[in-house]
Structure 1
């Protein structure tokens, strides 16, 4: 059963109107995606500019109340927010509305940085989508690459069960707890303790690095390489940086890294500066 949106038209019968009719309410819909549900909001361009949040929420409530229940109780939901600007209060309203019909908001997919930050701060997993940008030709050859998105800054701890995905660099002013994940196309910087899983260069960029004030990771990944924490590792008080070498992922003190290593494109790895001479 599909919810048909209401069409509200303010039209004066005495005045001819040649402009196209615009649907004031773009449709919100819910669908299955493997083991989870997708709750898809219309993009900002698909709704009237003066449509208040309260009416969007009422449309969502109407959809969930009238749609034939085809989901399992407690099923997880990914909110596809597109370019909608949502704050923590609005995300809480959506989560409570879903909870009323036995659905659980777990992930927020968005291409708005403010929405991604609000979702991560509220404890939801985040998938930040890149805004479409033209491809750039590499200076050395005809290979076309897609530029990274602007960095995502999070001023909160990434808790267990929360996964942050971003098509650029991720900067976390807080801890990355065990059970938490940060996956970035660019670098990952943790201004705190890195105790969970961090994956930099997720689109294959071996030049990317991972740094933290305290490295207590469960797992590190750079491009396709994986490093797991040893059973016994000395506790270091100085910040460390993880980077790709020809022998895999290695750690170095952040303060000394730039003095000793340079990136080698032919090797697809960071090498000792003495080897580059």
Structure 2
């Protein structure tokens, strides 16, 4: 397993977070986590985004959506066995039960945000985590944000401020 960076300091009112054991996707026939970068495409830039692809229906098992060059918003469930892939950020306004791969072309600033976290796989810029066991109660089926911190995926619960 790759070495993990130490946890970032937590603020007293910080939401629960988990350090995810992550791996880096390697090129080759078995690396299917993210589509290969197009040699003719401009490099991914965290400051700009092409189009935002909005999906207004639930995604069923076996469906794959790729937002090339931009962000992806899914307004509904991503079922187990479904895949959402974006060169930018991924927003899922519903349960995320399938696979979510943001920053598919190397954008290390990409994020995954969901209103209900219960994924099979999470990946940002080729760093991925397969979720084989249930997440802690502070994260499971809760609103969450996933970011890349070096070579480590950080999963943080989002809390309502009322």
Shorter-chain TM-score tier:
0.5 to 0.7
Once the 2 structures are TM-superposed, how far is the Cα of residue 149 of structure 1 from its aligned partner?
1.8
Aligned to 2:126: 224
Mapped partners of 2:87, 2:95: distance in 1: 21
Match of 1:254 among 136, 143, 158: 158
Q: Map 1:155-194; keep pairs closer than 5 Å.
A: 155-167=56-68, 168-194=70-96
Query: Is the aligned partner of 1:211 residue 2:113?
Result: yes
Instruction: Kindly name which structure, 1 or 2, has the bigger radius of gyration based on alpha carbons.
Output: 1
TM-score by length of 1: 0.39
Contact 2:44/2:87 (8 A) holds in 1: no
Q: Per-residue displacement from partner, 1:222-263 (whole Å, max 9, x unpaired)? A: 00101111413234454101110124111002349xxxxxxx
Aligned to 2:50: 149
Contact 1:160/1:180 (8 A) holds in 2: yes
Mapped partners of 1:174, 1:145: distance in 2: 28
Mapped partners of 1:153, 1:251: distance in 2: 24
Contact 1:211/1:254 (8 A) holds in 2: no
Aligned to 1:266: none
Mapped partners of 2:155, 2:45: distance in 1: 28
Aligned to 2:147: 243
Mapped partners of 1:160, 1:183: distance in 2: 14
Mapped partners of 1:158, 1:171: distance in 2: 12
Once the 2 structures are TM-superposed, how far is the Cα of residue 156 of structure 1 from its aligned partner?
0.5
Query: Relative contact order, CA 8 A, sep 6+: which one is greater?
Result: 2
- How many residue pairs get aligned? The number is 117
Once the 2 structures are TM-superposed, how far is the Cα of residue 154 of structure 1 from its aligned partner?
1.0
Which structure shows the higher helix fraction?
A: 1
Structure 1 residues not aligned, in runs of 5+? 1-132, 136-142, 257-277
Aligned to 1:11: none
Mapped partners of 1:246, 1:145: distance in 2: 17
Contact 2:113/2:143 (8 A) holds in 1: yes
Mapped partners of 1:225, 1:145: distance in 2: 18
Structure 2 residues not aligned, in runs of 5+? 1-40
Q: 1:159 to 1:248 in 2, by over 3 A?
A: same
